[in-house]
Amino acid sequence: MTQASSQGPIGWTVTFKVKPGKLDDFRRIAQEASRAVRAAEPGLAVYAWLVGQDKTTVRVDLWFTGPEAALQHLQGIAPQKFLPQALAIAELAGFEVHGTPTSALEKALAGFPVSGRNGEIAGYVLPPKA
């Protein structure tokens, strides 16, 4: 699965199960994380926090402009500050990687509980407009 360079889009989906009565707190963390990450990571093209109809499942979709942006995210404020806050009130229910990570990204992902992988068939992520 590892190769020298990514041939297409790279991203992941993280799924949380929020503890009963904690959705508002989780929402606050998501909003704060979104503001901080947007300011710090121009290579993160999609950062969408989505709550399920059950009001306990939250899915976070991330799509990057390239493997360097994905590496920057893994070393940034979200996993260092906001992930511990989220895990205090929710459990990690899934972490699926989409696309083909570079060797360096694969190594960085080794520290996360990846529960699934989805290889690319076709698609693209548009770079941010200048």
Q: What is the pLDDT along the chain (130 residues), one digit of tens a residue?
A: 333 344 578 999 999 999 999 999 999 999 999 999 999 999 999 999 999 999 999 999 999 988 999 999 999 999 999 999 999 999 999 999 999 899 999 999 998 999 999 887 777 777 666 5
- pTM value is 0.87
Whether residue 79 lies inside any domain: the answer is yes
Whether residue 64 lies inside any domain: the answer is yes
Contact criterion met (CB below 8 Å) for 6 and 94: no
Whether residue 94 lies inside any domain: the answer is yes
Whether residue 2 lies inside any domain: the answer is no
Q: Which domain holds residue 68?
A: 10-118
Whether residue 37 lies inside any domain: the answer is yes
Whether residue 106 lies inside any domain: the answer is yes
Nearest to 29 by CA among 109, 83, 102: 83
Whether residue 107 lies inside any domain: the answer is yes
Q: Indicate the number of domains in the chain.
A: 1
In this structure, what CATH number is given to the domain that contains residue 94? Answer: 3.30.70.100
CA geometry: angle at 10 spanning 85 and 118, to 5°? 95
Phi-psi region of 55 (alpha: psi -120 to 50; beta: other; left: phi over 0): left
